[in-house]
């Protein structure tokens, strides 16, 4: 509901490992530090495990899980707020939960996507070179594949994320899930490469 705020459905889990039961007295200071950064609406009271070795609290951001402000908040907690408690608890408290996990997953995919695309395009170009004994065909196929995927991803972002023609198409703008580019590349690349091989084979015949 709107009354709870956009970040209500994506709380961040802050976990502290307690080296001994005496460290529980430091949890209020940790809670106050997590509540301090801009963008944190509320932080729940720490819940300590029955073993007394782990404490968990939930931090509710002011922004939605997919918003850039939430990503910035997670990075701020990890880089600036929590490291100073490493000596207090014996190890640095961690930020987890579904929202933080999604941010980490997006970061991994974004960092590996250029390598993934590059390897696939280079390998396919080498295979075309071995099949057709030509340099022009593999280079042309690689360039056309990159242009096709760039156009498909650009149209996806323009319509589904930026909202261009969203009303005419009957869609609601929103963030594009991080796995969408990987899936789209596989589909577009497979279709374009199949037709490339079929067409050039027929011409060769």
The tokens for 79 are 């880089």
Query: Helices marked H in 25-179 — which ranges?
Result: 27-35, 68-76, 86-89, 98-132, 136-156, 166-169
Instruction: Tell me what the mean pLDDT of segment 190-203 comes to.
Output: 79
Q: What is the pLDDT of residues 19-47, one digit of tens each?
A: 887 889 999 999 999 999 999 999 999 99
Confidence (pLDDT) at 171:
83
Question: Per residue in 123-137, is it b (16+ CB within 10 Å) or e — as a string?
Answer: ebbeebeeebeeeeb
Q: What is the pLDDT of residues 84-142, one digit of tens each?
A: 999 888 889 999 999 999 999 989 988 888 898 889 889 988 988 888 888 888 888 88
Q: Which residues contact 150 (CB under 8 A, 6 or more apart)?
A: none
Confidence (pLDDT) at 75:
95
pTM: 0.76
Higher per-residue confidence, 1 vs 199: 199
Write down the residue that tokens 């801009």 correspond to: 38
pLDDT score of 1 more than 70: no
What secondary structure, in 3-state letters, does 136-202 show? HHHHHHHHHHHHHHHHHHHHHHHHHHCCCCHHHHCCCCCCCCCCHHHHHHHHHHHHHHHHHHHHHHH
Please report, rounded to a whole number, the percentage of residues in the chain having pLDDT higher than 90. Answer: 37
Instruction: Tell me what the mean pLDDT of segment 150-174 comes to.
Output: 86
Write down the residue that tokens 């589909």 correspond to: 187
Mean confidence (pLDDT) of the chain: 88
């Amino acid at each position: 509901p709107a009354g709870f705020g956009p970040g209500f459905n994506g709380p961040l889990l802050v976990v502290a490992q307690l080296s001994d039961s005496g460290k529980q007295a430091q949890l209020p200071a940790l809670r106050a530090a997590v509540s301090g950064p801009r963008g944190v609406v509320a932080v729940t009271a720490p819940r300590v495990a029955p073993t007394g070795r782990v404490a968990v609290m939930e931090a509710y951001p002011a922004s939605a899980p997919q918003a850039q402000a939430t990503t910035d908040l997670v990075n701020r907690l990890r880089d600036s707020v929590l490291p100073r408690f490493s000596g207090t608890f014996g190890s640095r408290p961690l930020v987890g939960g579904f929202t933080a996990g999604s941010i980490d997953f997006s970061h991994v995919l974004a960092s590996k996507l250029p390598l993934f695309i590059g390897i696939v395009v280079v390998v396919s170009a080498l295979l075309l070179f071995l099949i057709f004994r030509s340099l022009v065909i593999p280079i042309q196929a690689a360039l056309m594949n990159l242009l096709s995927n760039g156009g498909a991803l650009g149209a996806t972002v323009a319509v589904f994320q930026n909202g261009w023609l969203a009303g005419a198409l009957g869609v609601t703008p929103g963030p594009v899930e991080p796995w969408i580019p990987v899936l789209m590349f596989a589909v577009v690349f497979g279709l374009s490469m199949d037709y490339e091989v079929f067409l050039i084979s027929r011409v060769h015949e």
